[in-house]
Amino acid sequence: MCGLTGFWTPDRLPERLDVVAQRMADTLTHRGPDDAGVWVDEGVGLALGHRRLAILDLSPAGHQPMVSASGRYVIAFNGESYNHLVLRADLEKIGAGGTAWRGHSDTETLLAAFEAWGVEETLKKTVGMFAIALWDRATRTLTLARDRMGEKPLYYGWVRGSLVFASELKAIRAFPGFDNAIERRALALFMRHNYVPAPWSIYEGIWKLPPGCYVQFAGGVLPTGGRGDIKAYWSLREVAEAGLAQPFMGTEDEAVDELDRLLRQSLSGQMIADVPLGAFLSGGVDSSTVVALMQAMSSQPVKTFTIGFHEGEYDEAQHAKAVARHLGTDHTEWYVTPQDALDVIPKLPALYDEPFADSSQIPTHLVSMLAKRHVTVALSGDGGDELFGGYNRYFWAMRLWRRLSRVPLPLRRLAAAGVRTVSPAVWNNLFGLAAPLLPQRLRFALPGDKLHKAAGLFAARRPEEIYLRLVSHWEYPTDVVLGVEREPPTPLTDPAAWIACPDSERRMMYLDSITYLPDDILVKVDRAAMGVSLETRVPLLDHRVVAFAWRVPLSMKLRNGEGKWLLRQVLYRYVPNELIERPKMGFGVPIERWLRGPLRDWAEALLDEHRLRREGLFDPAPIRQKWAEHLSGRRNWAYHLWDVLMFQAWWEAARA
């Protein structure tokens, strides 16, 4: 795991190319504290910079940027190729590499593969997570590439006519003359999703390379701008639709056997490291499955890590401990205090380096801090919800749709209008008066708030519209972001981007897999862990596991009102189900209460009306209204306010 950066400029810079590249790379020291390097081609104005976190081949033979044996290719590589030893063996069979190997790093293997097989074929053969910048000195072609599911980040774009690229935006901001404006359309998308979805970035002219893709700038001549000719070497859409067209036809026991085999295959590559390795363990289905298989494949106790909270509704540590005890792992837990969590908040702008408002970023960084004290690599269970149907929204959306679809749309719209004519405060009072007569399941905090939110779903014309509302924060971002008339389309709003699928549940899983998973979940884990120089690996996202998951019938994912049936059956081979079966918990912190308590002054400064008006990006009125309602306790606007606060805190830090 490392950090890469570089640029290709047609202009003469005020400093030497190597000095600029080194300064850009040094902003990524947290991603690679073990080594640093730059490589320049003065003749064409190209430079590569690298920061290394040594995982495989800790010797100088793994130094980057690395030049191929023939001298043709130069690479800056972030990530891991889990099958590089297999690739080496294949290369040796055709006379490439062989006795000429300088070390045993996967970077050297990839360079030899690019020489032997070319760019696209090598990417297709590589199993791993990665972001790559590859310079072909013979054809003067720069290739930027990203792994299939988007585990590793890669930004690229234009600064004053120069092509710049990096693992994080902070390196791009270090390029001379950087003054790119805020991309207001991306800001609107951020306010809806709490992250900036690919291919957008928060800056004009800077983009995220989509997962499974590469882009080339060829012939030694730079274009004048744009995203370039992006090519997909792997497509989740094609994989998903192929799986639906040719579903798994075996028995349920055979499906469990196959998933067990594929997960072990994935782990056999991902458990290789020349440094200490462990795993995050929450005690939930996904992480417990990964750890159970790791322990079954290991001769030594696997090091596992979890954090606990003294607030019971947020604490999963006791469940993780029970799983760890059953499996016999070397388990470490840390019960964090509210102050431990609050101390992370000032670090968030630098950690995430782009507006990011998933509040589980805080506990994710805390568990990464814990793991880093003991290991350099940690495996996580991310991806199980998207592949095997674990999110509650898949059930809620369809349950609500089945009920709503029985009522004509005009009547539903009328009902929604009726609910909204009564303020949440009045609904709260009415529910309070009726509470003694209501069953326990209808007694909850802020019923008026929840009723108003539900009313927004009444006018849905298809399940996907309910899904969009469930994954949205600000329903109408253009009402709060100034200067944006229309929100840009995304896969969630463009039916042309949807897969051909007979059921809406799997369509939602697909949409989550191409949006929420790479742009929220994987960003969260990458930045939280790399902020403490910890490499994370995600075994469930091995592309062979992904392909099998899309062949599995829906009945093996969703069953009896519960998700991840097939994954659970694998887990139950190793862990008793009574240690696992409990309501799904989020990995969260009490942001709602903190905003009314210890974070109130910090938030007030960032949400100051005069400040918002002066900065000119947000309409202060709806923000101040939500802030007042939240402070009063009448409404819970924690998610909406956290979006604004995380942008404000990030922008303040970025301009410092």
- For every residue of 110-123, DSSP letters joined together read HHHHHHHH-HHHHH
Q: What is the pLDDT of residue 425?
A: 67
pLDDT over 80 (residue 427):
no
Q: E-strand spans in 500-561?
A: 535-537
Indicate the SS3 state at residue 48.
strand
pLDDT at 148 over 80: yes
pLDDT computed for residue 532 by the predictor? 96
Whole-model pTM: value is: 0.93
Please report the pLDDT score of residue 313 as a whole number.
62
The pLDDT tens digits of the residues spanning 104-113 come to 899 999 999 9
In a 3-state reduction of DSSP, which class is residue 568?
helix
Give the phi and the psi of residue 647 in degrees, each rounded to 5: -65, -50
* 521 known member of a binding site: no
Cis peptide before 65 (omega within 30 of 0): yes
Residue 67, pLDDT score: 95
Per-residue pLDDT, 584: 60
Minimum mean pLDDT range among 68-72, 171-175, 336-340, 417-421: 417-421
Q: Residue 398: what pLDDT?
A: 87
- Return d(Cα 78, Cα 4) in angstroms, integer: 6
Cα-based torsion angle of the residue sequence 360, 364, 367, 369 in order, rounded to the nearest 10 degrees: -130
2 labelled catalytic: yes
Beta sheet of 377-379, edge-to-edge order:
330-336, 303-309, 277-280, 377-379, 535-537
Least confident of 59-68, 258-267, 494-503: 59-68
Q: What is the mean pLDDT of the chain?
A: 91
The segment(s) of the chain belonging to CATH 3.60.20.10 are 2-234
Task: Determine whether the annotation assigns residue 542 to a binding site.
Answer: no
Burial (CB count <10 Å: 0-12, 13-18, 19+), residue 402: exposed
Please write the tens of the pLDDT for every residue from 500-522: 999 999 999 999 999 999 999 99
What mean pLDDT comes out for the span 287-309?
A: 96
**DSSP run (H or E) holding 423:** none
Which segments within 211-360 are labelled E, that is strand? Answer: 213-217, 229-232, 277-280, 303-309, 330-336
Over residues 182-219, the pLDDT tens digits come to 999 999 999 999 999 999 999 999 999 999 999 999 87
Q: Give the position of tokens 């085999």.
A: 261
Start-to-end CA span in the chain (Å): 28
CATH 1.10.3720.10, applies to 237-381+538-579: no
Query: Quick check: 99 pLDDT over 60?
Result: no
CATH 3.40.50.620 domain residues, the chain? 237-381+538-579
At residue 179, the 3 state secondary structure works out as coil
- Cβ contact 645:603 at 8 Å: yes
pLDDT at 225: 76
The lowest-confidence range among 55-69, 79-93, 377-391, 566-580 is 55-69
**8 A C-beta contact, residue 403 and residue 562:** no
* CA triple 607-613-619, angle to 5 deg: 80
Structure tokens at 656: 């410092």
At residue 102, the pLDDT reads 86
Q: Which of 1, 2, 131, 171 is catalytic?
A: 2
Looking at residue 141, what DSSP letter applies? Answer: E
Q: 106 a known binding residue?
A: yes
Hey, how many other C-beta atoms are within 10 angstroms of the C-beta on 248?
Answer: 18
Structure tokens at 351: 């950690």
DSSP string, 448-468: HHHHHHHHTTTT-SSHHHHHH
Specify the pLDDT at position 433: 67
Cα Dmax for the chain: 82
pLDDT surpasses 70 at 438:
no
Residue closest to 318 by CA, chosen among 284, 294, 359 = 284
pLDDT value, residue 443: 57
Instruction: Tell me the percentage of the chain whose pLDDT exceeds 90.
Output: 75
Rounded Cα gap, residues 432 and 546, in angstroms: 48
Query: Does residue 587 register a pLDDT over 70?
Result: no
Name the DSSP class of 489: P
449 is known to lie in a ligand binding site: no
pLDDT of the residue at 291:
98
Q: Which residue has 């519960």 as its token pair?
A: 562
165 pLDDT higher than 60 = yes
The pLDDT score that the predictor gives to residue 60 is 79
pLDDT score of 630: 96
Euclidean distance between CA atoms 353 and 350, whole angstroms: 5
Q: Are strands 141-146 and 213-217 parallel, antiparallel or unpaired?
A: antiparallel
pLDDT in tens, 229-272: 999 999 999 999 999 999 999 999 999 999 999 999 999 999 99
Amino acid at 33: P
Mean pLDDT, rounded, for 55-80: 89
pLDDT band at residue 463 using 50, 70 and 90 as cut-offs: confident
CA distance 528 to 351: 7
Q: Looking at the chain, how many residues does it have? A: 656
One-letter amino acid at 170 equals K
Closest CA to 541 of 369, 412, 382: 382
**What is the predicted pLDDT for the residue at 537?**
97
Q: Is the pLDDT of residue 83 over 80?
A: yes
The arithmetic mean of pLDDT across residues 576-592, rounded, is 78
pLDDT at 400: 84
pLDDT at 586: 57
The token pair at 365 is 């960084």
Grade residue 411 by pLDDT with cuts at 50, 70 and 90.
confident
Q: Which amino acid is at 203?
A: Y
Per CATH, the number for 2-234 is 3.60.20.10
What distances in angstroms separate CA 322 from CA 306, 316, 443, 630, 636, one per listed residue? 12, 10, 32, 38, 34
What pLDDT score was predicted for residue 549?
98
SS (H, E, C) 250-278: CCHHHHHHHHHHHHHHHHHHHCCCCCCEE
